[in-house]
């Protein structure tokens, strides 16, 4: 019952925040779309008429997946930073449900709410490029959520670091742009790169939407295991940093 109340509270909080900061919410989608248009025109002007339809499709889906990854990475780290700046972080630690459950709920709900923006962006991008694919949305959301859990794990690690060091923006910058390159790496059939978080899931979603390939059942199981592994490691690392933050009295400081 406590968890249901927590999820309800976090859902309301997300809706209140979006309503209060409506301009920011709308401008975020506009900015994401403008970046895509810039990228699309840039690629088109270089490749000209030689640009292959398959590459264009991959670019559309890849961009949407990259944006999803950015949101998920910001997750817990961003939350810790924001709450710390506001002065409300310690209040979250006064919940009998535990801080991890609160941060995990926040991160997952943020991911789910971001699905709406991601979907808008996906359709806008397909409309712009003229490459329309019928997207199986339940599959898309399900796979995306499962794959993004691994990045939520990385977000937890960043959140833990944020508890001690507070400002971790530079690391985000590196990971964000590094992710573009990482998402181009070959991960199927299984390679060393497949061990990295999110990449296997991203590759699968991309291939499914663009109709490039199908995957065996074990591959989906592997993606789930990969996500659970990174999430568990992320929570473990978060706990270690949290323990250290409580020892150093860093929870309330910014």
Segment interacting with other proteins, rule: CB under 8 A, options 7-15, 25-33, 41-49, 61-69: 7-15
Rule CB under 8 A: is residue 23 a binding residue for other proteins?
no
Segment interacting with other proteins, rule: CB under 8 A, options 29-37, 73-81, 93-101, 160-168: 93-101
Measure CA 106 to chain center.
13
How far is residue 92's CA from residue 78's CA, in Å, rounded to a whole number? 15
How far is residue 61's CA from residue 177's CA, in Å, rounded to a whole number? 17
How far is residue 192's CA from residue 186's CA, in Å, rounded to a whole number? 9
Q: For the CB of residue 35, give the shortest distance to other proteins in the complex, in Å.
A: 27
- Tokens 């989608």 belong to which residue? 29
Rule CB under 8 A: is residue 14 a binding residue for other proteins?
no
Maximum Cα–Cα distance across the chain: 61
Q: Which of 38, 42, 54, 98 binds other proteins (CB under 8 A)?
A: 98
How far is residue 151's CA from residue 71's CA, in Å, rounded to a whole number? 9
Q: For the CB of residue 163, give the shortest distance to other proteins in the complex, in Å.
A: 12
Q: For the CB of residue 5, give the shortest distance to other proteins in the complex, in Å.
A: 5
Rule CB under 8 A: is residue 165 a binding residue for other proteins?
no
Measure CA 252 to chain center.
27
On whether the CB atoms of residues 159 and 102 are closer than 8 A, the answer is no
Rule CB under 8 A: is residue 26 a binding residue for other proteins?
no
On whether the CB atoms of residues 70 and 191 are closer than 8 A, the answer is no
Q: Which of 34, 53, 97, 225 binds other proteins (CB under 8 A)?
A: 97
Distances in whole angstroms, Cα of residue 199 to Cα of each of 46, 110, 160, 216, 223: 27, 20, 23, 17, 9
Which of residues 32 and 79 has its CB atom nearest to other proteins in the complex?
79
Rule CB under 8 A: is residue 248 a binding residue for other proteins?
yes
Q: Which of 8, 22, 137, 232 binds other proteins (CB under 8 A)?
A: 8
How far is residue 130's CA from residue 165's CA, in Å, rounded to a whole number? 46
Segment interacting with other proteins, rule: CB under 8 A, options 15-23, 42-50, 108-116, 188-196: 15-23
On whether the CB atoms of residues 113 and 16 are closer than 8 A, the answer is no
Q: Which of 94, 170, 174, 217 binds other proteins (CB under 8 A)?
A: 94
On whether the CB atoms of residues 155 and 75 are closer than 8 A, the answer is yes
Rule CB under 8 A: is residue 243 a binding residue for other proteins?
yes
What number of chain residues touch other proteins (CB under 8 A)?
Answer: 35
Distances in whole angstroms, Cα of residue 16 to Cα of each of 13, 22, 191: 5, 10, 44
Rule CB under 8 A: is residue 102 a binding residue for other proteins?
yes
Rule CB under 8 A: is residue 22 a binding residue for other proteins?
no
Q: Which of 45, 46, 49, 96 binds other proteins (CB under 8 A)?
A: 96
Residues that bind other proteins (CB under 8 A): 1-6, 8-10, 12-13, 16-17, 20-21, 86-88, 90-98, 102, 243, 246-249, 251-252
């Amino acid at each position: 019952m406590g968890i249901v109340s927590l999820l309800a509270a976090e859902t309301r909080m997300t809706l209140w925040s979006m309503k209060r900061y409506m301009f920011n919410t709308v401008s975020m989608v506009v900015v994401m779309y403008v970046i895509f248009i810039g990228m699309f025109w840039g690629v088109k002007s270089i490749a000209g008429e030689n640009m292959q339809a398959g590459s264009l499709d991959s670019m559309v889906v890849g961009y949407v997946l990259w944006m999803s990854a950015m949101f998920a990475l910001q997750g817990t780290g961003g939350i810790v930073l924001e709450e710390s700046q506001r002065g409300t972080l310690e209040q979250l630690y006064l919940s009998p449900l535990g801080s991890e459950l609160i941060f995990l709920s926040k991160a997952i709900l943020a991911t789910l709410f971001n699905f709406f923006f991601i979907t808008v962006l996906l359709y806008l991008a397909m409309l712009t490029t003229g490459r329309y694919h019928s997207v199986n949305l339940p599959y898309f959301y399900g796979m995306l959520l499962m794959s993004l859990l691994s990045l939520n794990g990385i977000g937890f690690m960043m959140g833990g670091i944020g508890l001690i060091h507070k400002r971790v923006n530079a690391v985000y910058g590196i990971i964000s742009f590094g992710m573009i390159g990482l998402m181009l790496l070959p991960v199927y059939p299984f390679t060393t790169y497949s061990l990295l978080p999110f990449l296997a899931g991203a590759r699968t979603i991309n291939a499914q939407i663009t109709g490039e390939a199908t995957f065996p059942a074990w591959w989906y199981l592997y993606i789930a295991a990969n996500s659970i592994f990174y999430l568990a490691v992320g929570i473990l690392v978060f706990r270690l940093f949290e323990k250290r933050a409580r020892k150093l009295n860093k929870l309330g400081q910014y």
